[in-house]
Amino acid sequence: MTASPALARGPKWQFLPAAPFTLPAEFCGFQVQVAPQVNKRFEKLLKASDGSMILLHTGFLSVSYTNLESGKTITENVSGPLKITVFPDGSVTLADKGRTSLFLPPDDAQRFGLPTVAVTAGAVTASVAPDGSITSLSLHGHVLVDVCAALS
C-alpha cells in the first residue's frame, strides 16, 4: 500500500484543484482560455499568532493558454511555489518563486512595466489592499513568456 500524494507531503497538505477560466479581451486584445493540463498542486493553511492566515502552495502545475480567436495554444510550467498571507485587515501579500503565471489588468501592467499575461521566473512579490488594488509589485527575475505576444 502507498500513501496518497498529500500524505506523502506531511500533515495538513490538501490537493489544490484548478479549473479552466477565460480572460476577457481587455488583457490581450482577444480572449484567452487558461486551462490546467497537469495539476499536482497541494496547499497547506496555517494561522499566525497575529490572526493572519498563511496559504502555502507547492507541487507541479502546467497550464495551457489558448487564443480563442485563432486557436493558437502554448503550454507552460507555472509550478511556483507560492505563499499567500491574508492579514486581519483584509490586505494580502503574495510571494511567488520559480515559474509562475502573472495576470495584470492593463493599467497595473503599464504601472509596473510588465505584460498583462506572462510566465515569469524568479521571485514575484505583490501587496494587495483590502479593496483588491495592487499597492506594490516587484519581479526579481525575468519574464519568460509574454503570453499575449506568443499567442498573437
**pLDDT in tens for each of the 152 residues of the chain?**
444 554 456 678 999 999 999 999 999 999 999 999 999 999 999 999 999 999 999 999 999 999 999 999 999 999 999 999 999 999 999 999 999 999 999 999 999 999 999 999 999 999 999 999 999 999 999 999 999 999 99
pLDDT given for residue 1 in this prediction: 42
Structure confidence at residue 2 (pLDDT): 43
16-38 per-residue burial string, b: 16 or more CB within 10 A, e: under 16:
bebeeeebeeebbebebebebee
Instruction: State the Cα–Cα distance between residues 91 and 103, nearest whole angstrom.
Output: 18
Euclidean distance between the first and the last CA atom of the chain, given in angstroms as a whole number = 48
Nearest to 152 by CA among 100, 83, 74: 74
In 3D, which of 73, 80, 76 has the Cα closest to residue 32? 73
Confidence (pTM): 0.90
For 89, the enclosing helix (H) or strand (E) is none
